Amino acid sequence: MILGSVNDSDIVEKRIPISPDTIKKYIASGFSVQVEKDFGKNSNIQDVELQNLGAKVLNKEEIYKTSDILIKINCPSDSEISLMKEGSVLIGSFFPHLNKDKINKLLKKNIKIFSLELLPRITRAQSMDILSSQANLAGYKAVIDSVYEFNRAVPMMMTAAGTITPAKFFIIGAGVAGLQAIATAKRLGGVVSATDVRSASKEQVESLGGKFVFVESAKNLETSGGYAKELDEDDKKKQEELLKTTIKTQDIIICTALIPGKKAPRIVSEEMVKSMKSGSVICDLAVEQGGNSAFSEPGKVNVVNGVKIIGYKNFPGRISESASTLFAKNILNFLEIIYDKVEKKLKIDENDEIVKAVYVNKEVV
């Protein structure tokens, strides 16, 4: 069975979904692995290294036309779909609700699509959870990039010439990315506080040394899958009042709040941005889904009243070597539940709760 992968058509995307470690395991399981020229260039991997492990380096067209299983980071383009082998298998992160036309074109070619961002939040699926592995790195990188843009030292420094006070970080959203941001900011010596609509986040925030800022609500604001729910108008007003007083005293704000399948909630208003001190930084990890902060734009760093608003796209891709290693392992772990190593063929059990959740086999409307 031939397993292939190509460089992503999005020039911003520097991650790859097959790593040297996973190539060895695929070949040991009976796969023939083929990748495009310069496949691992952005992750510090040379073609010769992959060839020495047994992978073939071919052109993109040949890989699409011959691969039984294609592994990609993002949804293929229309031109790529036209090259794909009828009846092949596609595994990656495709967000069907955002790529309806492409998904439907793939289905017309009888391509079996497995989109791993749809994984259920169960213990058995943790090793395949691409959202968590990549969000973890995004939270780390957001802090590092924010500190780079911040024109002051982060930790407290006591010197003969005087004392430098520690930078104040405020993390909006205490999911995987937010918790890693808290941990990274604390390691750098910052004073960290965080907010989330889920009261259950309090213990996690405080365990990492952060102060939890919370809007009391009589309603349950957490889904059964562990995600945050959208606030109603009453709770939005309460949150806005709390944030107004909190944000104006902060030096660095990291925004990570997302609602699955919906536009990101606007949390930091224009008024809040303008209330911050000149030299402060806002990093908006939700910018590609609409943004948590006013003035954030995908791929840009905007400056408003001296406040920098970072809207970089694809934070995990900014540390592609680490991100690729984790993404590739997530894919390998998923393939192990749909591939029979003894018979060396795919066995797709649609009754398996993981397979059922990620298998996109119906037209998206």
CATH number at residue 174: 3.40.50.720
Nearest to 78 by CA among 49, 108, 101: 101
Residue 129 lies in a domain: no
pLDDT reported for residue 98: 87
Q: For residue 75, tell me if it sits in a domain.
A: yes
Q: Same domain for 59 and 201?
A: no
pLDDT digits (tens, 9 = 90+) for 138-181: 999 999 999 999 999 999 999 999 999 999 999 999 999 999 99
Residues 88 and 142 reside in one and the same domain: no
Q: State the average pLDDT over residues 336-364.
A: 93
Say yes or no: 86 and 16 in one domain: yes
Q: Which residues contact 297 (CB under 8 A, 6 or more apart)?
A: 287, 291, 311
Do 185 and 208 form a contact (C-beta atoms < 8 A)? no
Give the C-alpha separation, 19 to 15, whole Å.
10
**Tens-place pLDDT, residues 173-221:** 999 999 999 999 999 999 999 999 888 899 999 999 999 998 765 455 5
Helix, strand or coil for residue 334? helix
Are both 335 and 220 inside the same structural domain? no
Does 102 share its domain with 207?
A: no
pLDDT interval class at 365 (50, 70, 90): confident
Looking at the structure, do residues 194 and 293 belong to the same domain, yes or no? Answer: yes
Active-site residue set: 121, 126, 129, 132, 227
Question: What are the DSSP E strand ranges found in the chain?
Answer: 2-5, 32-36, 56-58, 69-71, 89-92, 112-115, 157-159, 162-164, 168-172, 191-195, 211-213, 252-255, 281-284, 301-304, 307-310, 339-340, 345-346, 359-360
279 has a pLDDT exceeding 60: yes
Question: Do 308 and 330 have their domain in common?
Answer: no
Q: Based on the domain organization, do 225 and 105 belong to the same domain? A: no
Q: Which domain holds residue 273?
A: 136-314
| pTM of the predicted protein model | 0.91
3-state secondary structure of 171: strand
Same domain, 253 and 183: yes
Cα 240-279-272 angle, rounded to 5 deg: 15
Nearest-CA neighbor of 202 among 223, 182, 230? 182
- For residue range 59-71, what is the model confidence (pLDDT) as tens digits? 999 999 999 999 9
